[in-house]
């Protein structure tokens, strides 16, 4: 039979087409192998014998989800066999009180291939994570690139032992070459620094800090040596009445950042989920630290209890910024920024230059920003010679929805290349 169309292509190209058409992580289900093999009979052997088509997959054990049976183990065995010696990229989502033993069985199977781990995402009970991450000494130091952990309380309200800490997870920090993401109530600022001190090769770090207490940094904590390029912090459940002066949360956060090597940082996001009173000294200390980020391209701040003067003094010196986001979407967290700050971005007195700015997202609650202010900003930012022009503008301000819609439509028609959103 004459081979036509895609079947006539070399096998190497057919494999590339498969990899492009499939999702990055194939979801394990019972009919997956059948589905792939029935695409075309002539591809059956090709599919079965190409390891890279089997090395990235997603396994979800969720209540009322896929049947909890040994078929899941068999399917994983098949994938691990067919992926041969290729590096593994696997996403685990284990969130069902009825499948703990099945989860342990799958983890035991997966641990047997620890020397092939490359990109691992685990979302589930901390006790299962502890079972997964008990392989630190057997994991080759050059294998693991990315690790993402989201740890929850165990099912059926089974809480962790009182002495269970983040150190109870034998995470091979020194082997992680690129990215680490931690979302667990076991992490505070102290443990973040301790973890970073064990991760000398790390470039990207994401942490969600859930501590109601212990929001502090000890001077005796180990100093990180990794040169981060990407830092993403979410801070939750901080006591809003904690400390003043050196113990104010902003001062503590400044000391936390000051303990790191920041010269290579290009991305910084700080999300503050709880209310706290602004502190001028704390804000200045925090931004004095951020000024060390001389290569910063993206700065995203949400709900941080700042005052405008400290913020403006810092922002104007970050001349490499391309993306600036200062968001206070909930009026329970009042924006410290005023119309004067916005006008400074337009080039008024005490202007904030930011010659490379391409994306601006800003919240101003206390004063109304006039349409003339927006047009002055755009006249400056859309006509910069030799520099990138503004591509994306989002303004959250004190204005009724009808006015927002009218301004948005008018500005979009005047600057069709600009993505613009004005929200009340």
Q: Is the pLDDT of residue 67 over 70?
A: no
Q: Is the pLDDT of residue 70 over 70?
A: no
393: which residues sit within 8 A by CB, 6+ positions away? Answer: 360, 361, 374, 377, 378, 411, 418, 419, 420, 421
Q: What are phi and psi of 148, to 5 degrees?
A: -125, 120
Can you tell me whether residue 37 is helix, strand or coil?
A: helix
pLDDT at 157: 45
**C-beta separation of 363 from 337 below 8 A:** yes
From residue 131, give the alpha-carbon distance in Å to each of 80, 106, 122, 208, 384. 19, 11, 12, 22, 56
Give percent above pLDDT 70 in the chain. 75
Can you tell me whether residue 178 is helix, strand or coil?
A: coil
Q: What are phi and psi of 371, to 5 degrees?
A: -60, -35
Distance CA 251, CA 267 (A): 21
Q: Is the pLDDT of residue 8 over 70?
A: no
Q: Is the pLDDT of residue 137 over 60?
A: no
Q: Is the pLDDT of residue 96 over 50?
A: yes
- State the DSSP string of 321-343: -SEEEEE--STTS-----HHHHH
For 40-57, what is each residue's pLDDT tens digit? 665 667 677 778 778 888
Q: What is the CATH number of domain 85-389?
A: 3.80.10
pLDDT at 2: 47
Q: Is the pLDDT of residue 30 over 50?
A: no
CA 8 to chain centre: 42
For the ranges 72-76, 240-244, 377-381, the maximum mean pLDDT occurs at: 377-381
For 339-359, what is each residue's pLDDT tens digit? 888 888 886 656 788 888 899
Q: Model pTM?
A: 0.84
Other Cβ atoms within 10 Å of 198 Cβ, number: 17
Distance CA 299, CA 315 (A): 9
The domain ranges of the chain are: 85-389
pLDDT at 1: 41
């Amino acid at each position: 039979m004459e081979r036509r169309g895609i079947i006539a292509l070399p096998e190497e190209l057919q494999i590339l087409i498969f990899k492009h058409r499939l999702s990055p992580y194939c979801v394990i289900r019972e009919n997956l192998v059948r589905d792939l093999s029935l695409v075309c009979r002539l591809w059956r052997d090709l599919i079965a014998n190409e390891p890279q088509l089997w090395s990235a997959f997603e396994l979800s054990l969720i209540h009322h989800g896929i049947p909890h049976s040994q078929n899941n183990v068999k399917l994983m065995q098949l994938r691990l066999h067919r992926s041969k010696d290729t590096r593994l990229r696997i996403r685990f989502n284990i969130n069902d009180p009825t499948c703990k033993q099945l989860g342990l069985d799958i983890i035991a199977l997966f641990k047997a291939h620890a020397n092939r781990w490359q990109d691992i995402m685990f979302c589930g009970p901390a006790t299962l994570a502890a079972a997964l991450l008990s392989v630190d000494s057997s994991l080759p130091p050059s294998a693991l690139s990315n690790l993402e952990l989201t740890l929850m309380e165990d099912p059926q309200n089974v809480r962790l032992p009182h002495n269970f800490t983040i150190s109870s997870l034998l995470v091979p920090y020194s082997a992680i070459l690129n990215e680490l993401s931690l979302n667990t109530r076991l992490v505070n600022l102290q443990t973040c620094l301790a973890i970073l001190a064990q991760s000398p090769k790390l470039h990207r770090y994401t942490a969600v800090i859930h501590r109601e207490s212990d929001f502090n940094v000890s001077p005796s904590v180990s100093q990180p040596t990794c040169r981060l390029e990407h830092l993403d912090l979410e801070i939750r459940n901080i006591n809003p009445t904690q400390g003043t002066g050196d113990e104010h949360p902003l001062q503590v956060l400044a000391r936390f950042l000051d303990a790191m090597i920041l010269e290579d940082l290009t991305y910084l996001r700080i999300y503050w989920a709880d209310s706290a009173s602004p502190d001028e000294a704390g804000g200045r200390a925090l931004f004095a630290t951020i000024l060390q980020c001389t290569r910063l391209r993206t700065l995203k701040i949400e709900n941080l209890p700042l005052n405008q003067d400290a913020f403006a003094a810092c922002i104007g010196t970050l001349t490499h910024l391309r993306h600036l986001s200062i968001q206070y979407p909930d009026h329970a967290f009042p924006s410290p920024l005023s119309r004067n700050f916005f006008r400074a971005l337009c080039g008024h007195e005490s202007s904030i230059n930011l010659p490379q700015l391409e994306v601006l997202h800003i919240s101003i609650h206390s004063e109304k920003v006039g349409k003339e202010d927006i047009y002055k900003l755009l006249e400056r930012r859309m006509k910069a010679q030799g520099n990138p022009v503004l591509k994306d503008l989002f303004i959250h301000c004190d204005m009724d929805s009808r006015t927002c819609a009218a301004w948005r439509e008018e500005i979009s028609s005047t600057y069709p290349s600009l993505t613009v959103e004005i929200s009340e």
